[in-house]
Chain A
Amino acid sequence: MPEELAIRIEDLSIKYKINIDTKKTLKNAVMRASKGEKVRTRIVEAVKHLTLDVPHGSVLGIVGANGAGKSTLMRAIAGILPPTEGQITVNGKISTLLALGVGFNPALSGRDNIILGGLASGMTRAEIEEKTEEIADFAALPDGFIDMPVRTYSSGMYGRVAFSVAVNMTPDILLLDEALSAGDASFKEKSFNRMRELCAEARTIVIVSHALQTVNDLCDSAIWMHKGNMLAKGKPEAIVDQYLKFLDVGTLPSNLEDM
Chain B
Amino acid sequence: MANPKTNFAPAIQVFKPHRASLPPLIPYLKEFWRRRAFAIELSRFADKAEYLDSKLGKVWLVMNPLLLAFVYFLLVTVIRGGSTQKTGLSTLAHILIGLFTFYFASNSINGGALSITAGGRLILNQAFPRALLPLSSSISAFWQFLPTLPVYVLVVVIGKVFFPHTQIPGLRLSYLWAPFIILCVGITGYGMGLLFATMNVYFRDTNKLLSYITRIWLYSSPVLWRPEILHGWHKIFLYINPLGPSLAATSDVWIEGRTPSLGMLVGSVVWALLAVLIGGYFFVSRERDFAVRI
Contacts and interface: CB of A to CB of B under 8 A. Distances in A.
A123 B6 contact: yes
A66 interface: no
A29 interface: yes
Given A25-B203, A29-B203, A103-B122, A79 B49 contact: no
Interface string B42-74: 100110111010000000000000000000000
A199 to B, nearest CB: 12
A85 B17 CA distance: 6
B127 A102 contact: no
Nearest to B53: A107
A81 B291 contact: yes
B6 A80 contact: no
Given A87-B14, A89-B14, A115 B49 contact: no
Contacts of B202: 24
Given A93-B6, A103-B121, A103-B122, A81 B45 contact: no
A79 B13 contact: yes
Contact of A75 (B50, B52, B124): B124
Contact of A121 (B13, B17, B126, B291): B126
B204 A83 contact: no
B126 A102 contact: yes
B128 interface: yes
B291 A25 contact: no
Nearest to A112: B45
A27 B203 CA distance: 9
Contacts of A107: 49-50, 52
A91 interface: yes
Contacts of B124: 75, 80, 98-99
A83 B15 CA distance: 7
A103 B15 contact: no
Contact of A108 (B6, B49, B203): B49
A82 interface: yes
Nearest to A102: B125
A3 to B, nearest CB: 11
Contacts of B123: 80
A193 interface: no
Given A17-B292, A96-B125, A112 B12 contact: no
A23 interface: yes
Interface string A89-114: 11111101011011111011000100
Interface string B88-111: 000000000000000000000000
Interface residues of B, number: 45
A152 interface: no
Given A81-B292, A82-B289, A120-B38, A172 B2 contact: yes
A24 B203 contact: yes
Contacts of B205: 25-27
Interface string A1-15: 100000000000000
B16 A119 contact: no
A78 B125 CA distance: 8
A111 B54 CA distance: 21
B283 to A, nearest CB: 15
Interface in B164-201: none
Contacts of B127: 78-80, 94, 96
Contacts of B121: 101-104
Contact of A93 (B8, B38, B119): B8
A26 B128 CA distance: 28
Name which of B41, B42, B50 has the most chain A CB atoms within 10 A of its CB.
Answer: B41
B132 to A, nearest CB: 9
A211 interface: no
A205 to B, nearest CB: 12
A127 B42 CA distance: 16
B162 to A, nearest CB: 43
Contacts of B203: 24-26, 29
26 contacts: A24-B293, A26-B206, A80-B123, A82-B15, A82-B18, A83-B16, A87-B15, A89-B12, A89-B13, A91-B11, A93-B8, A96-B126, A99-B125, A101-B121, A103-B119, A103-B121, A105-B46, A107-B52, A108-B49, A108-B52, A116-B42, A119-B37, A120-B128, A171-B2, A172-B3, A203-B2
Interface of A: 1, 16-17, 23-27, 29, 75-76, 78-94, 96, 98-99, 101-105, 107-108, 112, 115-116, 119-125, 127, 149, 170-172, 201-203
